[in-house]
Structure 1
Amino acid sequence: MRTIAMTFGVLFAFDVSAHDAHSGWRYDAFCCNGNEHSGDCQQIPASSVRIIQGGYQLTLAPGDHRLVTRSHTFKFAQDSTRRSKDSEYHLCLFPDENTPRCLYAPDMSF
């Protein structure tokens, strides 16, 4: 995405990077820390997601996400979850495996 900003009468243009999901749509820059090569966002198995009252519970094991090296359980509120554009669940972890930044959930979960 190209962003244009004017500061003190000088016009600047710069790219705000995000990276693409495997199926081709783009994660939000905030979710992947604006770094397309960070590897912090990826699809996760639907079997690791459970819909609970008010949101989602994720139970991840090593291999469910490239950054996960041990078991984790995370909860996301429904109103903080973003819509997945490919009917799959995607999780962004940043700055490390202990910090879930964004969960993308398919429309059927909304």
Structure 2
Amino acid sequence: MMSGDGGRCRYAEVQPFARCCAALLALPAFLVTISPVSAHRTASGWKYPPACCHGDIEHGECQAIPERAVKENGSGWSIVLEPGDHRKVTHRNRYFVPYGSEIPSGDGDYRICLHPTEEHENCFFVPPGAM
């Protein structure tokens, strides 16, 4: 028998603390696995399809664009974005989305996802009344 410890096992005293620490260490991994879900959500709460959105609400490539940037032509949607119209746009960009390739917007705004660069339109969203 060891002196001073009354024969108790020190592991029994440390075990609850070890379980607590293990749970705290697992928390960041859990948060990382759930954060991409919120990355696909707009400020109004509507969700982008996961195939369109690669980022978060502040740094991602999807966001609302001004209505003035969107024009219909005979076979689709012409979109002209200037710097300031979308966080990824650094110079004037033109995009064309043929009819039938647009996606209904869940919040009434025109929206676009630019991925992998500002030169490429990944997904284009149109308010239901405009389709």
TM-score surpassing 0.5? yes
Query: If the length of structure 1 is used for normalisation, what is the TM-score?
Result: 0.79
Aligned residue-pair number = 96
**1:75 aligns to 2:96 (yes or no):** yes
Query: If the length of structure 2 is used for normalisation, what is the TM-score?
Result: 0.67
The partner residue of 1:42 within 53, 56, 63 is 63
Which residue is equivalent to 2:109?
88
Which residue is equivalent to 2:18?
none
Q: Any stretches of 5+ residues in structure 1 without a counterpart?
A: 1-13
Greater RCO structure (CA 8 Å; 6+ sep): 1
Relative to its length, the structure with more helix (as a share) is 2
Provide the rounded CA distance (Å) in 1 between the counterparts of 2:62 and 2:103. 13
The partner residue of 1:56 within 63, 67, 77 is 77
Q: Any stretches of 5+ residues in structure 2 without a counterpart?
A: 1-32
Structure 1 segments, 4+ long, off by >2 Å, are: 14-18, 35-38
Measure how far apart 1:107 and its partner are.
Answer: 0.9
Measure how far apart 1:54 and its partner are.
Answer: 2.1
Relative to its length, the structure with more strand (as a share) is 1
2:87 counterpart SS class: coil
Measure how far apart 1:45 and its partner are.
Answer: 0.3
Provide the rounded CA distance (Å) in 2 between the counterparts of 1:109 and 1:77. 14
1:104 counterpart SS class: strand
Provide the rounded CA distance (Å) in 2 between the counterparts of 1:75 and 1:59. 9
Higher CA-based Rg: 2
1:47 counterpart SS class: helix
